[in-house]
Amino acid sequence: MTGIGIGTDCDVAVIGCGPVGVVLAGLLAKRGLRVQAFDRDVDVFPLPRAAHFDHEIMRVFQELGCADAIAPSTIVNKGMDFLTADRQVLLSMRASERTTSGWPASIMFHQPGVEHMLRTTAVANGAVLHLGHAVDHVDDRGDQVVLRLDDGRSVTASFAVAADGARSTVRKQLGITMDDLEFEEPWLVLDVVLRDGTPPPSDVALQVCDPARPHTLVPMPWPRFRFEFMLLPGETAESINTPQRARELMAPWVDPDAVEVERSAVYTFHGLIAREWRRGRVLLAGDAAHQTPPFLGQGMCAGIRDAANLAWKLDACCRGVAATSLLDTYQAEREPQVRAIVGAAVSFGRIICTTDPQVAAERNAGMLAARSAGGGTTTETPLPPLTEGPLIAHGGGRLAVQPRVTDARGGASRLDDLAGQTWVLAARSRHHVPSGLAAPWESLGAWVSTADEHPELHALLDAAGGDVAVVRPDRYLYAVGEQLPDVPAILQRAHP
């Protein structure tokens, strides 16, 4: 336990208890760290905002300890179609049937219910949530961070993570600026509840590329459904956000009398990325660090990937396993992935948001021709692998396959559950794991096993492409090869 709890009220303070902040708090607390999280609101926001997450995020929920509890309240999303104004299919995106994580590729959910479960799980893991308490100021004093609360109290922490949303007060206080990807479009979002017997307008997500009014349809767990309509030049939030306009806009897809509008709000979709994600002992995560248009459903996903990347690194720093320079790998690893997904969403947004009829006609002709020629169908947009660096060696950077592995009782457990929140060292056989080379990994807490003991590990190794694979605690491959690699130098502080 070296390095934990020396002279501070907590090891990590998390500012913001939305999905990103509470997942981070729960992952850290499950590792045994003292975690306090703060949010100005007492309860979760009662209406849905995010509606989609993917298999990798469900795998993070699995690590947190609530994936199986969340799954029954979700629906599997079959994919997304891009349509012309007269509903011809321009492009079909279909979710993969098999995924690296072993969970469905694309999942739709109702955010308030899932957030309640995330908070309950974080508290059960040992996180302390201070709800109804805002953080007014953050002071990095070099050896610790002091948070000043709105009630005048102060809390000290070894590190602070601001997951306080797109308008992050911490980011503004630190003077961190945003890189603007030059996408800014206001849209009306309508969340509706379908009355009994009313079928959903679509069982796949639809991007309707209608130059007269681009709009989106999003299936959600019944009885909910979402519509999104782009504001046209000259329109204001006040002019479009009325019950009558909502009825008119929904009418081509559903009988307005067959639904109840649960939420009606105008949001401006942005593509923004913070230039700094770490300033000393203070870090940014989620919307505080980056914002993406919603066209690929990756906004919340990106933030939870931040939490998974940060959790094990903060744990290593707090325990004295690594110096604080380990945290320099956070932005270096995550930003290229974020830029790729935000860039893809902005590109799709520019296709969808075309309002020039001639440009739209040319777009349609090209995409329809490609579809007629046998194209026009694709799977979900993949994330690029993490690039080589202090924590990514040869063959690493991709998300590792999670097979079901026979456990000690003869049952089948998901690999992550069997291994726990640590490194995984998998090999074809024991001769690939010499004891002298394995000892440093074992002292780091790695779960070491072979396909001789667990034949299911062949699936992981086959996908990785080697006889030995080392998987990081966030389930990304560190290294793949024919022999066991050394512990990363950046972590060898634990092995003088």
List the domain range (segments joined by +) for residue 446: 404-494
What confidence score (pLDDT) does residue 157 get?
A: 98
CATH of the domain at 436: 3.40.30
Alpha-carbon gap, residue 354 to 328, rounded angstroms: 39
Alpha-carbon gap, residue 307 to 19, rounded angstroms: 10
If asked whether residues 149 and 289 sit together in one domain, one would say: yes
| CA 299 from centre of chain | 7
Q: Are strands 215-219 and 145-149 parallel, antiparallel or unpaired?
A: unpaired
What confidence score (pLDDT) does residue 436 get?
A: 84
In a domain, 235, yes or no: no
Whether 112 and 105 have beta carbons less than 8 Å apart is answered as no
Whether 170 and 284 have beta carbons less than 8 Å apart is answered as yes
Whether 29 and 127 have beta carbons less than 8 Å apart is answered as yes
Count CB-CB contacts under 10 A for residue 292. Answer: 29
Whether 155 and 36 have beta carbons less than 8 Å apart is answered as yes
Cis geometry, peptide bond prior to residue 19 (ω within 30 degrees of 0): no
Q: Which of 325, 344, 363 is the last residue in one of the domains?
A: 344
Q: Tell me which residue of 470, 406, 413, 414 sits closest to 438, measured CA to CA.
A: 470
CB within 8 Å of 448: residues ≥ 6 apart: 425, 433, 438, 441, 442
If asked whether residues 328 and 420 sit together in one domain, one would say: no
| Dihedral sign, Cα of residue 246, residue 251, residue 254, residue 260 | positive
Count CB-CB contacts under 10 A for residue 422. Answer: 17
Residue whose tokens read 């021709």:
369
Alpha-carbon gap, residue 214 to 230, rounded angstroms: 6
If asked whether residues 284 and 432 sit together in one domain, one would say: no
Residue whose tokens read 């994936």:
67
What confidence score (pLDDT) does residue 434 get?
A: 86
Rounded to two decimals, the pTM is: 0.95
Q: What does the radius of gyration of the chain's CA atoms come to, in whole angstroms? A: 24
If asked whether residues 323 and 425 sit together in one domain, one would say: no
What confidence score (pLDDT) does residue 135 get?
A: 97
If asked whether residues 63 and 168 sit together in one domain, one would say: yes
If asked whether residues 41 and 139 sit together in one domain, one would say: yes
3-state secondary structure the chain: CCCCCCCCCEEEEEECCCHHHHHHHHHHHHCCCCEEEEECCCCCCCCCCCCEEEHHHHHHHHHHCCHHHHHHHCEECCEEEEECCCCCEEEEEECCCCCCCCCCCEEECCHHHHHHHHHHHHHHHCCEEEECCCEEEEEECCCCEEEEECCCCEEEEEEEEECCCCCCHHHHHHCCCEEEEEEEEEEEEEEEEECCCCCCCCCCEEEECCCCCCEEEEECCCCEEEEEEECCCCCCHHHHCCHHHHHHHHCCCCCHHHEEEEEEEEEEEEEEEECCCEECCEEECHHHCEECCHHHCCHHHHHHHHHHHHHHHHHHHHCCCCCHHHHHHHHHHHHHHHHHHHHHHHHHHHHHCCCCHHHHHHHHHHHHHHHHCCCCEECCCCCCCCCCECCECCCCCCECCCCEEECCCCCEEEHHHHHCCCCEEEECCHHHCCHHHHHHHHHCCCEEEECCCCCCHHHHHHHHCCCEEEECCCCEEEEEECCCCCCCHHHHHHCC
CA dihedral 263, 265, 271, 277 (to 10 degrees): -70
In a domain, 314, yes or no: yes
If asked whether residues 146 and 48 sit together in one domain, one would say: yes
In a domain, 315, yes or no: yes
CATH of the domain at 117: 3.50.50.60
If asked whether residues 36 and 151 sit together in one domain, one would say: yes
If asked whether residues 30 and 124 sit together in one domain, one would say: yes
Whether 118 and 111 have beta carbons less than 8 Å apart is answered as no
Whether 264 and 226 have beta carbons less than 8 Å apart is answered as no
In a domain, 128, yes or no: yes
If asked whether residues 18 and 128 sit together in one domain, one would say: yes
Alpha-carbon gap, residue 115 to 44, rounded angstroms: 7
What confidence score (pLDDT) does residue 493 get?
A: 61
Whether 291 and 274 have beta carbons less than 8 Å apart is answered as no
Q: Which of 344, 366, 396 is the last residue in one of the domains?
A: 344
What confidence score (pLDDT) does residue 480 get?
A: 98
Residue whose tokens read 């040992």:
126
Q: Tell me which residue of 283, 2, 10 sits closest to 138, measured CA to CA.
A: 283
Alpha-carbon gap, residue 261 to 272, rounded angstroms: 30
- Structurally, how many domains does the chain consist of? 2
Question: What's the angle, vertex CA 175, arms to CA 173 and CA 180, rounded to 5?
Answer: 125
What confidence score (pLDDT) does residue 149 get?
A: 97
In a domain, 439, yes or no: yes
In a domain, 412, yes or no: yes
If asked whether residues 486 and 414 sit together in one domain, one would say: yes
Q: What contacts 24+ positions apart, CB below 8 Å, involve 486-489?
A: 486/437, 486/440, 487/440, 487/441, 487/444, 488/390, 488/391, 488/393, 489/390
Instruction: For the chain, 496 residues long, give each residue's pLDDT as a single digit of tens.
Output: 334 556 899 999 999 999 999 999 999 999 999 999 999 999 998 777 899 999 999 999 999 999 999 999 999 998 999 999 999 999 998 888 789 999 999 999 999 999 999 999 999 999 999 999 999 999 999 999 999 999 999 999 999 999 999 999 999 999 999 999 988 889 999 999 999 989 999 999 999 999 999 999 999 999 999 999 999 999 999 999 999 999 999 999 999 999 999 999 999 988 999 999 999 999 999 999 999 998 888 999 999 999 999 999 999 999 999 999 999 999 999 999 999 999 999 998 888 999 999 999 999 999 999 999 988 777 766 789 999 899 999 999 999 999 999 877 778 899 999 999 999 999 999 999 988 889 999 999 999 999 999 999 999 999 999 999 999 999 999 999 999 999 999 997 644 3
What confidence score (pLDDT) does residue 495 get?
A: 45
In a domain, 318, yes or no: yes
In a domain, 122, yes or no: yes
If asked whether residues 458 and 326 sit together in one domain, one would say: no
What confidence score (pLDDT) does residue 381 get?
A: 65
What confidence score (pLDDT) does residue 496 get?
A: 39
Burial of residue 238 (number of CB atoms within 10 Å: 0-12, 13-18, 19+): exposed
What confidence score (pLDDT) does residue 46 get?
A: 79
Q: Which of 326, 344, 362 is the last residue in one of the domains?
A: 344
